[in-house]
Chain A
Amino acid sequence: MAIADNSTDGSLHGVMRFVRSLAGFVVVVALTFLGLLAITFFIGRVVPIDPVLSVVGDRATQEQYDAAKIAMGLDRPLIVQFFSYVGNVLGGDLGQSVSTNRAVAADLVRVFPATLELATLGIIIGVLLGVPMGVAAAVYQGRAADQIIRVLALLGYSVPAFWLGLVGLAVFYAGLGWVAGPGRIDIFYDGIVPPVTGLLLIDSLIAGDTDIFFNALDHIALPAVILGFFSLAYIARMTRSFMLDQLGQEYVTTARVKGVAEWRVIWVHAFAPIRVPLITVIGLSYAGLLEGSVMIETVFSWPGIGNYLTVALLNADMNAVLGATLVIGSVFIFINKISDVLYRILDPRSRS
């Protein structure tokens, strides 16, 4: 993995420390990535589905079958296959997808931004609403506000995603007409803006096409709100329990003894120390959304990675499955690393 080395000015000592921590970081990421690669590869090879069969079809003759098997390199020992796969991956080649007949890497570049866009909007909604709701529930523990928030959070836990998606579409699209229907964009807008980031909302702004921007926004609004609701439920519950624990801490009482205003007691003294565990919760929640919510993506015909992975799995398209799994795994590794960096910034105790 290539990581741009920003040269930091300062003492030689500082530079050395930076280089050492960067090297450590690269080694850890590389090892994690290799482990991920090995596990997904071997699981992919031992599952009882035959990738050759999915290429040649079940009416092929034995000769055709054998020829395809050799062409795909599946006749070689497993360990040889693995190393050749690792070599290909390092070269950016994830193989061909048998279901789309395109390079898996090219497919992923197309589908991942769709999920990224949806998940990012979803997590923003989840954090902006979930954190204040959790704090409010803890502060007003046992009162009406707490009960309402807890019921909402419980709904977010127990309502199936596909049901909420279908009902959302029935009410807000078919019934009220407030939002656009399934898909990322209306068909006559499709493929107009040149893909730069792959994120339609951003690409349309880069192209300066506000019509497309608002159309894409119309399409993403409902699924993003639904995903946001699910992550909100989790984030609000966790925030509430972290805050309840904090509000019982001695230093919160200390702040009250000092005569500090109540909003400061809550947001500065009680909330500040829970930022670190909250980052873990938000990071995991975001990673979960980036994995692609298969239910939501299916209901909304969203061409994202969840959808792609499901179709690939059903077609025994192992290259596509492995490629998508690698992307998801990388997302987890990346978000974990970001969380680590944020911990160090936010918690003085983890610095020394």
Chain B
Amino acid sequence: MSAPLLSIEDLRVSFPTPKGRIEVVKGVTFDLGRERLGIVGESGSGKSMTGRAILRLIRPPGVVTASRMQFDGMDLMALSEADMRALRGARISMIMQDPKFSLNPVMTVGRQIGEALRAHERLPRAAIRARVIEMLNAVRINDPERVAKMYPHEVSGGMGQRVMIAMMLIPKPSLLIADEPTSALDVSVQAQVLDLIDDLVRETGMGLLLISHDLNLVARYCDRILVMNAGEVVESCAARDLHAASHPYTKGLLAAVPQMHETRDVLPVLDRSAWGGTGT
């Protein structure tokens, strides 16, 4: 196996508080090839911060350190801001959580998608338009010509998220981070959007880092899974071996997932003392 696409060692993210620095990511280490890796964890476990740290989007006063953060042979920690900007979108992209907030309200959908391409390639206007329409087709939007002229408030949540996907994939990145890409959507469109991401990832052969709190979803769409809790990776396994997880936190999470046809009256509560985690 060649060198992994992304290699992270001892990634730490901290923020200052009146009581001193608080680490929200405490030494995360993992490699990612051209595969689909899922990061699961509850809110505040540091999974989103990990995603943003890879893009170096943690803004001051947040501080990011890592003993290694390599992407395709480049040291992400050492790149200048300009080099990093050239990399964002073009090589590593990120699908944001809620299209209601993550699309610019005063810019047409078409312009926002086109801008992602224009930031990295000098193309004539007509070529950009053609690529935008092509991309909207690729994310299965009917009547792309019309949708391109619409504003974000005029499209539905599922459509907004497809627009987001189109925007993030138009410069053909090799790594896609999806940060809770469906948690803001109706259940009925969640599967559609995830299937779409899955298809596009398989077609283009890019790496996928799927961040979610939903164990089942991650198990279904990923090859490998990292379970995070309180800023640390507590479990790393192949998706199909999830049921055989060894860490008590993972076991607790799995036990708490509701089952079809179940007869339990009360869902089990995580016993955090089992692994010395933070109590609530």
Q: Is the A/B pair a real complex?
A: yes
Nearest-CB distance from A245 to chain B (Å)? 13
In the complex, whether A301 has a CB less than 8 A from a CB of chain B is no
Query: Which residue in chain B gives the minimum CB-CB distance to A255?
Result: B104
Among residues 234 to 291 in chain A, which have CB atoms less than 8 Å away from a CB atom of chain B? 249-251, 253-262, 264, 268-269, 272-273
Query: In the assembly, what is the distance between CA of A251 and CA of B102, in Å?
Result: 4
In the complex, whether A349 has a CB less than 8 A from a CB of chain B is yes
In the complex, whether B106 has a CB less than 8 A from a CB of chain A is yes
CB contact between B104 and one of A257, A262, A269, A347 (< 8 Å): that residue: A269
A257 with B94: CB separation less than 8 A? yes
Query: Which residue in chain B gives the minimum CB-CB distance to A270?
Result: B104
Chain B residues near A255 (CB-CB < 8 A): 104, 115
Query: In the assembly, what is the distance between CA of A249 and CA of B153, in Å?
Result: 16
Among residues 71 to 109 in chain B, which have CB atoms less than 8 Å away from a CB atom of chain A? 85-90, 93-94, 96-98, 101-108
Nearest-CB distance from A283 to chain B (Å)? 19
| Contact A273:B119 (CB < 8 A) given known A259-B85, A259-B90 | no
Chain A residues near B104 (CB-CB < 8 A): 251, 254-255, 269, 272-273
Nearest-CB distance from A347 to chain B (Å)? 6
A257 with B96: CB separation less than 8 A? yes
Chain A residues near B57 (CB-CB < 8 A): 253, 256-257
Nearest-CB distance from A264 to chain B (Å)? 8
A259 with B89: CB separation less than 8 A? yes
Chain A residues near B94 (CB-CB < 8 A): 257
Contact with A along B164-179 (1 / 0, CB 8 A): 1001100100000000
| Contact A251:B89 (CB < 8 A) given known A258-B115, A261-B119, A348-B151 | no
In the complex, whether A346 has a CB less than 8 A from a CB of chain B is yes
| Contact A257:B88 (CB < 8 A) given known A251-B104, A348-B106 | yes
A273 with B96: CB separation less than 8 A? no
CB contact between B88 and one of A256, A269, A273 (< 8 Å): that residue: A256
A257 with B55: CB separation less than 8 A? yes
Query: In the assembly, what is the distance between CA of A255 and CA of B104, in Å?
Result: 9
B96 with A258: CB separation less than 8 A? no
Contact with B along A315-348 (1 / 0, CB 8 A): 0000000000000000000000000000000111
Query: In the assembly, what is the distance between CA of A269 and CA of B152, in Å?
Result: 14
Of residues A258, A346, A348, which shows the largest number of chain B Cβ atoms within 10 Å of its Cβ?
A258
| Contact A261:B88 (CB < 8 A) given known A347-B106, A348-B106 | no
Interface residues of A, dominant DSSP: helix
B105 with A260: CB separation less than 8 A? no
Query: Which residue in chain A gives the minimum CB-CB distance to B113?
Result: A258
| Contact A272:B89 (CB < 8 A) given known A251-B101, A258-B119, A259-B120 | no
CB contact between B98 and one of A250, A262, A268 (< 8 Å): that residue: A250
A258 with B89: CB separation less than 8 A? yes
Nearest-CB distance from A280 to chain B (Å)? 16
B105 with A257: CB separation less than 8 A? no
Of residues A255, A262, A346, A349, which shows the largest number of chain B Cβ atoms within 10 Å of its Cβ?
A255
Nearest-CB distance from A273 to chain B (Å)? 5
A273 with B120: CB separation less than 8 A? no
| Contact A348:B119 (CB < 8 A) given known A250-B101, A258-B167 | no
Query: Which residue in chain B gives the minimum CB-CB distance to A254?
Result: B102
Chain B residues near A250 (CB-CB < 8 A): 96-98, 101-102
A254 with B96: CB separation less than 8 A? yes
B85 with A249: CB separation less than 8 A? no
Query: In the assembly, what is the distance between CA of A264 and CA of B151, in Å?
Result: 19
Query: In the assembly, what is the distance between CA of A108 and CA of B263, in Å?
Result: 84
B106 with A272: CB separation less than 8 A? yes
Nearest-CB distance from A270 to chain B (Å)? 9
B88 with A251: CB separation less than 8 A? no
CB contact between A249 and one of B55, B87, B101, B108 (< 8 Å): that residue: B101
In the complex, whether B116 has a CB less than 8 A from a CB of chain A is yes
Nearest-CB distance from B81 to chain A (Å)? 8
Q: What are 6 A-B pairs at a CB distance below 8 A?
A: A258-B89, A259-B88, A259-B171, A269-B104, A273-B106, A348-B105
Across the A-B interface, give the 6 residue pairs with the lowest CB-CB distance, nearest first: A259-B89, A259-B88, A250-B101, A258-B89, A348-B151, A250-B102
Residues of A at the B interface (CB closer than 8 Å) are: 249-251, 253-262, 264, 268-269, 272-273, 346-349, 352
Known pairs A259-B89, A260-B89, A273-B104 / 9 extra A-B pairs, C-beta < 8 Å: A251-B104, A251-B105, A253-B57, A254-B96, A254-B164, A257-B168, A258-B115, A269-B107, A348-B105
